Amino acid sequence: MKHFLWSLAVAAFSIAGCDLAPDEEVDVLLPAPPAAWQIAFPRMGYRIVTRDGHNRLQEATAADWRTPVTARCAREVSSPVLAYPLEGSLRPAGGFSTLSLREYRGREALELTWRDGAAALVVARLADLGRNVSLFNVPRLRQFLAEADDPWDVDLDAVAQKIAQGGFTAWDIDRLPSRDAEVGPGAGTWFLESPFSALQEAENGRIRLSGISLGCHMLFSLDGRRWRLEVGNQETFLVDYLQTVKSTPSAP
């Protein structure tokens, strides 16, 4: 991911208060959920978050990914669009106006993807700071993050901070600190909150997580059970119903 440098002219960003662009209503096409999500959450809906031409947040709700939802968003800028699953803590899909536009049933529609979710979240954080994202090289950021095996393993907070400071290059795209961990969530087939998470079958009620980033995660089973997973430098905690019930020392 670090094979060439990319400087971004963040200093040219304008402060919120200026209109980004005219806005309009557009159909938003949602990606099919990963197969594991469809099994675990067959009735999963989405909260669609867009921005209008004044950088004001707009929201819409989709009850089902198969049906497009109409949302208001800025036109002719790299304005971020995010679709958050209503099942808590699952990572969002994302896209950009107008980079993600395609023809759908004779008209333009905005097509979201799971790959663009991380990039859209970074750009949304810049928009929260009042930056004019139309002056930012969003296609290149999108390309960089799409090259990662799992874009959610990237330190997105650091990326957003570097961009906001005006000193960002491709060398600043790093993975989050991580380690291997073994936990005992019980029998079943399990997956983490990222749409790129692999399924793992528990052996004797335990699974091994290779290269999981430090911090909080959600661990889901295909039958709908879930744990909050807290990965520290030395121990890993499984938390259920806000009470810590299991801890596991750091894997060697």
Using one digit for the tens of pLDDT, what is the confidence trace for 92-109?
999 999 899 999 999 999
- Are residues 168 and 104 part of one domain? yes
Tens digits of residue pLDDT in 171-204: 778 999 999 999 999 999 999 999 999 999 999 9
- Are residues 138 and 85 part of one domain? yes
pLDDT averaged over the chain? 85
Q: Which of the listed residues 172, 191, 225 is the one where a domain comes to its end?
A: 172
Q: Which of the listed residues 141, 172, 203 is the one where a domain comes to its end?
A: 172
64 or 167, which is more confident? 64
Structure tokens at 128: 């929260």
Residue with tokens 């491709």, as numbered in its chain: 170
pLDDT band at 21 (very low <50, low <70, confident <90, very high): low
- Are residues 127 and 235 part of one domain? no
- Are residues 160 and 68 part of one domain? yes
- Are residues 139 and 41 part of one domain? yes
Domain that holds residue 34: 10-172
4 located within any domain: no
Amino acid at 68: P
Q: Which of the listed residues 172, 195, 217 is the one where a domain comes to its end?
A: 172
Distance between CA atoms of residues 31 and 37, nearest Å = 12
pLDDT band at 26 (very low <50, low <70, confident <90, very high): very high
Distance between CA atoms of residues 152 and 155, nearest Å = 8
CA atoms within 13 A on the CB side of 172: 18
pLDDT at 3 over 90: no
Q: What is the dihedral of CA 144, 147, 153, 158, to 10 degrees?
A: -10
- Are residues 233 and 141 part of one domain? no
Q: E strands within the chain?
A: 23-29, 46-51, 57-62, 69-74, 79-85, 93-97, 101-104, 107-111, 178-183, 189-192, 200-201, 207-213, 215-221, 226-231, 235-240, 243-249
- DSSP output for 164-185: HHT---GGG--BPPEEEEEE--
- Are residues 186 and 144 part of one domain? no
- Are residues 143 and 25 part of one domain? yes
5 located within any domain: no
Percent of the chain beyond pLDDT 70?
87
pLDDT band at 37 (very low <50, low <70, confident <90, very high): very high
93 located within any domain: yes
pLDDT at 242 over 50: no
- Are residues 142 and 26 part of one domain? yes
Mean pLDDT of 46-72: 94
Conformational region of residue 225, where left means phi above 0, alpha means psi within -120 to 50, and beta covers everything else: beta
Q: Backbone phi, then psi, for 223, in 5-degree steps?
A: -95, 10
Residue 23's pLDDT is 87
Helix (H, G, I), strand (E, B) or coil at 3: coil
Q: Backbone phi, then psi, for 10, in 5-degree steps?
A: -70, -30
2 located within any domain: no
- Are residues 187 and 83 part of one domain? no
Q: Where are the alpha helices (H) located in the chain, listed in sequence order?
A: 35-40, 117-128, 138-146, 156-165
1 located within any domain: no
- Are residues 41 and 135 part of one domain? yes
Domain count, the chain: 2
- Are residues 83 and 145 part of one domain? yes
Enter the DSSP assignment of 233. S
